Chains A and B, each alone.
Chain A
Amino acid sequence: MTNEKTRDIVLIALFAAIMAVLGVFPPITLPLVGVPITAQSLGVMLAGGILGARRGALAMVLFLVLVAAGLPLLSGGRGGFAVFLGPSGGFLVGWIVAAFVVGLMVERFWPRLGHVNAFAACVFGGIVVLYAIGIPWIAFAAEISIAQAFVGSMPFVPGDVIKAVIAATVIVTVARSYPVIVSR
């Protein structure tokens, strides 16, 4: 194993662990919308934005393997194979692609990474792409139309936008103080 590869493995394991720790935070309920928002989708944006596309996506794969193996690492102490077959299963699998897309965009923006484009990466990868995977699964399994599933998922968007704002600041600060993605 080369040094580079060892470091990749350690960083992937670290962000999978960060996901688990974020799951311990109690969900915050938004005052106006009344929907619980959890800290874990923040971890998805951070993994992609800090580690880059490939390592960010692999961190999600590793985390989801541990969840599937039965560890109660999702927020609210959920875990086990069942969560993938429940209504929000598509969103969990979507985390892998979401982290990849956030990472890809942050890599592209890297030489001139700022709050605005980091926020754009988090919104596109962590919200648009994620919902594009999560919504069809709800629609399919709950036998409703895509439009109805879309409307039903909208209450979660304000919380996710707040998380994208937080993630963008963290990604930019970490990129300046301890950069992990190397400019390409």
Chain B
Amino acid sequence: MLTSDYVPGDSAVHRARPLIKVGLLFVFCTWLFLQEGWLSLSVAGMALAALLAVARIPPRMVFAAVRPALWVLGLIFLAQLFLADWRFAGFVVLRFAVMILAASLLTLTTRTSDLVEAIEGALSQFLPQRSAEAISLALSLCLRFIPRVRDIFDEVKNAQRARGLGTSWRALVTPTIVRALKSADEIARAIVARSPGPADGPAMPDGRHVR
């Protein structure tokens, strides 16, 4: 579940700094909207095709990147067919496809960890160190919580089944959330108990004490 679609490689696209790629993607998409027309779209499409070739992205991955948006794009095509003509409908849908592929190129050639690190690095330039540390803590805690929440959910589901209750949404979500909140407070207490620096007392904000 936590694996991205990274395609390993050593091309210029892979080696470019993550934030430069994010910046270029932003410029690329803005330009597509400012310079609306077949000419700019074909230039953008060719540039994108060249970059995909340089990065050696297999065609299978190129198709996989657009596939989730296909049915919405189909609907938009039909809508534009009614509102305008087939040429404009094709233009709008192709522009979406080019933008989606450009963004996928970033994801396919950048490791998630590198991108997260780059975002953290950029934020720490503008934010005080404590906030930057808080952001790194939140990111790593979240990844740590995903399997934990899934375990809690499975436990709740099995417990409900053992008691003969059906799988109603409400019967599953509420106990899962309450148990997850308790588990989160335990982790918060553990972090506070282990962290150095000026402590403001052993009590948690809810008034309970560290066990």
Measuring CB to CB, which residues of chain A are less than 8 angstroms from any residue of chain B? 1-7, 9-14, 16-18, 20-21, 24, 42, 46, 50, 62-63, 65-66, 68-73, 76-88, 141-144, 148, 152, 166, 169-170, 173-174, 177-178, 180
Give Cα A70 to B104, complex, Å. 9
Chain B interface SS verdict (over half): helix
Give the CA-CA distance A14 to B148 in the complex, in Å: 10
Complex Cα spacing A17 to B142, Å: 5
A169 CB to closest chain B CB (Å) equals 5
A-chain residues with CB within 8 Å of residue B99 when the two chains form the complex: 82, 85-86
Instruction: Tell which of A46, A70, A88 touches B110, judged by Cβ atoms closer than 8 Å.
Output: A70
Question: Which of A6, A12, A148, A166 interacts with B192 by CB under 8 Å?
Answer: A6
**In the assembled complex, how far is the CB of residue A66 from the closest CB belonging to chain B, in whole angstroms?**
7
Q: Does B43 touch A at the CB level, under 8 Å?
A: no
**CB <8 Å contact, B1 and A152:** no
Alpha-carbon distance A163/B143, docked complex (angstroms)? 26
Interface check B188, CB cutoff 8 A = yes
Residues of B within 8 A of A17 (CB): 142-143, 145-146, 148-149
**Residues on the A chain within 8 Å of B47, using CB:** none
Q: Which residues of B contact A3 (CB under 8 A)?
A: 188, 192, 199-201, 203-205
Q: On chain B, which size bracket covers the interface?
A: 35 or more
Q: Whole-angstrom distance from the CB of B26 to the nearest CB of chain A?
A: 10
Contact of A81 among B76, B104, B199 (CB under 8 A): B104
**How far, in whole Å, are A97 and B19 apart by their CA atoms in the complex?**
25
DSSP majority for the A interface?
A: helix
| Residue among B95, B119, B141 with max Cβ neighbours from chain A (10 Å) | B141
Q: How far is B143's CA from A156's CA once the two chains are assembled, in angstroms?
A: 30
Question: Are the CB atoms of B178 and A10 closer together than 8 Å?
Answer: no
Closest to A14 in B: B184
Of B8-16, B49-57, B66-74, B158-166, the stretch lying at the interface with chain A is: B66-74
B41 to chain A, nearest CB (A): 13
Contact partners of B46 in chain A: CB under 8 A:
none
Alpha-carbon separation in the docked complex, A16 to B141 (Å): 10
| 10 A-B residue pairings within 8 Å (CB atoms) | A9-B141, A10-B185, A13-B144, A14-B141, A17-B142, A17-B143, A82-B100, A86-B99, A166-B169, A169-B174
Given A17-B146, A17-B149, A174-B174, A142 and B80 touching (CB < 8 A)?
A: yes
A10 touches B29 (CB 8 A): no
Taking CB atoms, residues of chain B closer than 8 Å to A152 are 75, 79
Judge whether B107 and A70 touch: CB under 8 Å: yes
> Does A5 lie within 8 Å of B134, measured CB to CB?
yes
